[in-house]
Amino acid sequence: MSEEQKRQLEQQLWNIANTLRGKMNADEFRDYILGFIFYKYLSEKIHFTANKILEDSGEKIDYQEIDENSNEGKEIVEAIYEEIVEDLGYFLKPSELFSNVAQKGYNKEEGKSNFILPELTRILNNIEQSTLGTASEEDFDKLFEDLDLTSSKLGKTEEEKNKLISKVLFHLDEIDFNLSDTNADVLGDAYEYLIAQFASGAGKKAGEFYTPQEVSTILAKIVTSRKTQLKSVYDPTCGSGSLLLRVAREAKVADFYGQEMNRTTYNLARMNMILHGVNYVNFDIKQEDTLEKPQHIHKTFDAIVANPPFSAKWSSNELFLLDERFSQYGRLAPASKADFAFIQHMVHHLDENGIMAVVMPHGVLFRGAAELEIRKYLIKEKNYLDAVIGLPANIFYGTSIPTCILVFKKCREQDEDVLFIDASKEFEKQKNQNILRVQHIEKIVETYRERTVLEKFSHKASLKEIAENDYNLNIPRYVDTFEEEEEIDIFAVMREIKELEAKRSELDLEINKYLKELGLVS
């Protein structure tokens, strides 16, 4: 598929999404449209897989056209059931396929809608039911719970709701997801595009589920530096899972791990994984509070990436001083700012040869008290901090504050210094948002990988230099970005002022002359 065709697909999906816009806010119609796209994907995946099984067994029949109520149809469906569930993790009967439901919901020839809401609700429940007792059960549990087909926001009456949903399904059915092309991830890209579009309109809430693609790319390129394969990648605040999937664009990833507190966003992350072709056996996404109830306690990971909620509150309960994630530091992050609690959690889960990159507000670089002690321990006692990268302001949805990326390694190649990069001016201004372009990303990543020192952009600070600054990591202390202002010629300025005053006097005389002629002054 060409770039133009890809853009057309993205626009088609966005136009269909906007069918729901007048009825509800961005958060709500996001859940419906992404849920329906996911249902269509699951159907097409079943259809394609079932047809391949039938073809291999010598059956010349299309799975979608099987009459599952006939004896022969029942036998065929039962024969391929186990194989499909083992392969894909779920099952749909021919009558439950998206296309059959969409065509039933809207009869194009007659130009009218048929009532399909109860049937659609049953099918979505059946997808989850088909996984019970299988290895994929947890990955599909309550996956469609945000698709409330009874919501009054879809319409005042059942007929109005049905008409709207039928219309959306009909238009989606007309789009070919082209799943037979196993080398392309066109649908995955389109899904990411939609998530980004929803994030841009969600204001402050966007940070709950989405990291801008440009920032994700920097994080992904950093943790995969000089690596082509990773056993595992982990995101403790995974949102929609986009950051985890971005890492897979830079290196081949065997297994994905994540944790997300928000139930709706957790569902979105699981959908995102499956829709990008990640098999249910290769991802483990959990729903819980990462700091209070970590779900991957005894695991370590090759790569860790995260964009935690900035300065979130947490309990900071003293009992956590007995938790091996925090005990060695002797101090806990303050209850009002969990930033360092997330860092400590991630460091604990980092493999000895792994790389970790996390987005943080600038406050973590210089705040005192407990945060200073934790920062000092990480640098002085453990020497884990590898780089500090300052990003431009106003590049995240919902907040204009400047942010930074902290990079940690337990086994650093160059452990005598910390690389500081000031990329705060590396952006292109667009309306209300600053944008990192390809050249900006490449400059940041290349400077990090090569540890290059560039005037007014990067500096390698020795551990002694950092200690002399009392472990304050504020970037201007290390990267001199001061620009001398052009000298002003005072005498030239005075001459210009005199000339302007002379011209003003001449104008005053001329104006006064006209006023006299008009009789307005004596």
Residues contacting 350, CB < 8 A, separation 6+? 300, 301, 304, 356, 408, 409, 410
Residue 271 pLDDT > 90: yes
What's the rounded mean pLDDT across residues 105-129? 86
Provide the pLDDT confidence category of residue 212 given band limits of 50, 70 and 90.
confident
Provide the pLDDT confidence category of residue 485 given band limits of 50, 70 and 90.
low
CATH class given for the domain over 202-477: alpha beta
DSSP state of 399: B
Predicted pLDDT of residue 479: 94
Predicted pLDDT of residue 522: 64
Residue 1 pLDDT > 60: no
Residues 499 and 493: their CA atoms lie apart, in Å, by: 10
- Of residues 513 and 475, more confidence is placed in 475
| Residue of 132, 157, 128, 133 whose CA lies nearest to 144 | 128
Q: 4: burial class by Cβ within 10 Å (0-12, 13-18, 19+)? A: exposed
Residues 351 and 280: their CA atoms lie apart, in Å, by: 24
- Whether domain 3-199 has CATH 1.10.150.130: the reply is no
Residue 108 pLDDT > 90: no
Provide the pLDDT confidence category of residue 201 given band limits of 50, 70 and 90.
low
Provide the pLDDT confidence category of residue 390 given band limits of 50, 70 and 90.
very high
| Dihedral sign for Cα atoms in the order 207, 209, 214, 218 | positive
Predicted pLDDT of residue 24: 73
Residue 207 pLDDT > 70: no
Provide the pLDDT confidence category of residue 7 given band limits of 50, 70 and 90.
confident
Residue 186 pLDDT > 80: no
What pTM was estimated for this model as a whole?
Answer: 0.87
- Tell me the domain boundaries of the chain: 3-199, 202-477, 489-522
